[in-house]
Amino acid sequence: MPNAEKNRLADLLTRPLSIAGRPVANRLWLAPMAGLTHVAYREVLEEYGGCGLLFTEMCSAKGVPTENRNVSPVFRWRDEELHRLVCQVVGADPGELLPAVRRVEDEGFFGVDINMGCSAPGIVKRNSGAALLRDPGAALAAVEAVRREVSIPLFVKFRTGWTRDVEPAATLARRFEEAGVDCLVFHPRVAPDKRTRPPVREHIRAIKEAVSIPVLGNGDVVTPSDCLEMLETTGCDGVSVGRMAVARPWLFAEWTGGPVPDEACFRDYALRLADLLDHYFDPIRALKRFRLFTVYFAANFTYGHSLQSRFLGAKSMDEVRDVVREHVKPGMQLVSRPNMNMYNT
């Protein structure tokens, strides 16, 4: 990317922004991802710096009120990150949502995010996540109830819906704003789409033009050029990065004007994440979470499938570290855009 474009991107991402009157560090945020944006990953990300807002992985509204933060696999955090950490909750029934969001506010999170984007069958069959987009009345009732209950910033992450027509999503966005939502994070794909088609970025513009609150764009932001294009062609207020953030967590610092790390960062990153997974989780959960991570990490490399196979063959975190030390080294052939076929599994 030419220096002029790098500087323009950094300038756009570091413009002042506030959510419900609360300032955020910049306009490049971490997207919430189940099994990936856990406390161990977020600690690694914080060490690289540059992320404007952090998001937890998806937390069940039903479980949050009684979760023990010291042992919960999802509702877990470090006190140092709370001032810029948003808790994403999934649920549809206000009777379940309200105790959950009360606890989120009482614990001191920056904000709460209602998930209306997940289309996993187990979520949809409970009328939660993207299923709410089929029932705008229920979606609005959930938002209104949460807004009456808490004063912290309220976010909604949602998709285009269940058809390719963006107008219902734009209408719903307007109603969300009227109900008191402070920020929207929009993924311009239909709910059943498992990333087999590219996102429709013009739909981000449609949502942005429908409301006056901040709108963050999300979806297939892989390179700094992708990020700049999304900002300049859609008019969105910022960018939420998901899978690429797991592949290369230093991108937040890099895209906001910081240094580009050297090749050793891949090895250091994998080892650091392994150590923190061991610290926060029991051996079985740590290994499962590392295996989820390997899809995105290995996609950085030309022979990523071979590397991932080695990781998946590891039976313990010690074996994981052995694979990193033996097979992740400077000089490995990198790809400019990670292998998206590995992502779409």
* 317 annotated binding-site participant: no
Q: Output the 3-class SS for 313-329.
A: CCCCHHHHHHHHHHHCC
* Residue 88 labeled ligand binder: yes
DSSP state of 24: E
pLDDT (tens digit, 9 = 90+) per residue, 105-142? 999 999 999 999 999 999 999 999 999 999 999 999 99
Between helix 136-149 and helix 94-107 the angle, nearest 10°, is 40
DSSP three-state, residue 52: coil
pTM of the full predicted structure?
Answer: 0.96
Cβ(12)–Cβ(228) under 8 Å? Answer: yes
pLDDT in tens, 175-229: 999 999 999 999 999 988 767 788 999 999 999 999 999 999 999 999 999 999 9
> Does the annotation count 118 as an active-site position?
yes
Segment 269-280 mean pLDDT: 98
Residue tagged active-site, from 118, 183, 227, 236: 118
Question: Is residue 157 a known part of a binding site?
Answer: yes
Percentage of the chain lying above the pLDDT 70 cut: 97
Q: pLDDT tens-digit profile of 47-67?
A: 999 999 999 999 999 999 999
C-alpha atoms less than 13 angstroms from C-alpha of 325 in its C-beta half-sphere: 8
Query: For residue 44, how many other CB atoms are within 10 A of its CB?
Result: 19
* Domains in the chain: boundaries: 3-255, 265-343
Q: CATH fold of 3-255, please? A: TIM Barrel (3.20.20)
